[in-house]
Structure 1
Amino acid sequence: MSSLRVPIETDHLILRPFERADCDAVTRYHTLPSVQRYVERPTRYAEDVAAVVGTMRRQTELHRPGDTLSLAMIQKGDRALVGQVCLKWSDATAGQGEVRFAIHPTHSGKGYLTEALTAMFDIAFNHFRVHRLFVRCDGRSHHSIKLMRKLGMRLEAHYREHALFQGEWDEELHFAMLDREWRYDAKVVDMPVRERVVA
């Protein structure tokens, strides 16, 4: 797959690779119980978050199946890190990709995830030429369900009580979209070279 020029700018965000200095900002949302059930691996303590940020700092390219591109969501105004969005190349033969995301709850409902996911979908379909993109979300996360439908994704599976999380059964939904179904209409542009941030 061809290299991607980053950072990427949307109306209100800058999507850039993670940096070592991001640990404190990531800790502020990764360690919250409301976010814990959605992250890929437990991050209850600062050292757990440091390990995750270290991994995400290396996730800057998609070269082979299994690779992940992880980008920090930065507010344009105060340059605060508010969340993350990731694209995983899950299957080369079938052209499959998975998008994952997390956001600090205090920044939820402001349209940031819509912008970040729209940009990531465009990257997946138009830059990396992914054929099918899917997103997993908790069946009780009504905001995520509404967002997936807003983006035009189709509910393809509902896994009922498929896993235990802190003593509670988890409900997992799988949403998907094909490349020919994507309608890109957000303003996403490469940042000028002089504004690029080096990790």
Structure 2
Amino acid sequence: MTATPIILCGILALIFSVALAADHSPLQDFCVADLKAPVLVNGRACKDPKLAQADDFFFSGFHRAGLTTNPVGSVVTPATVAQIPGLNTLGIAMARVDFAPWGINPPHFHPRATEIFTVLEGTLYVGFVTSNPENLLFSKVLQKGDAFVFPVGLIHFERNIGNGNAVAIASLSSQNPGVVTIANAVFGSKPDISNDILAPAFQVGKNVTNRIKARF
């Protein structure tokens, strides 16, 4: 096989791998999610397009600041297919993230989406960690108008490092990106994960893991 066919095969493999990593492409103009449909599919079932209306593609909520009076000092206002049924099959979503002074959006990841995070107000320290075994931290201080990318499936975080409130917009490459907050998942699972697993995993005593569990 000559070099040109080999290069062509490599390009095609890359294209297909990228395509498989994203939500499926729509096969029609739109597929407004029927949020009450009894049919279970990989995503959301479509309602009759003749019943679609403008409100299926509309969301009002990003103009309001979220309440940040919680232990972490941040709150996320999502706009996914659950809030905008018209996003179904379109492969995008957004969220507004509000931060109190020194508030954090704790380490978490999105199992189905890459995120581009844009600061609207304030100064935020952000970062993500690569997978094992390197576990490299890529971090940056962002000012108003700056953006940072969190690759799909990687743990990332944000922290307001200013004395005033901060606001950011997250754009995500899935209509249903999902979110797994590490501390909640590990210490707040139902039923809970045994201390016989957590204590050696975190290299602490069982009394420590019990105290952490009590907070979740």
TM-score (norm 2): 0.29
Work out which of the two has the higher radius of gyration on C-alpha atoms and give 1 or 2: 2
| Larger relative strand fraction | 1
| Larger relative helix fraction | 1
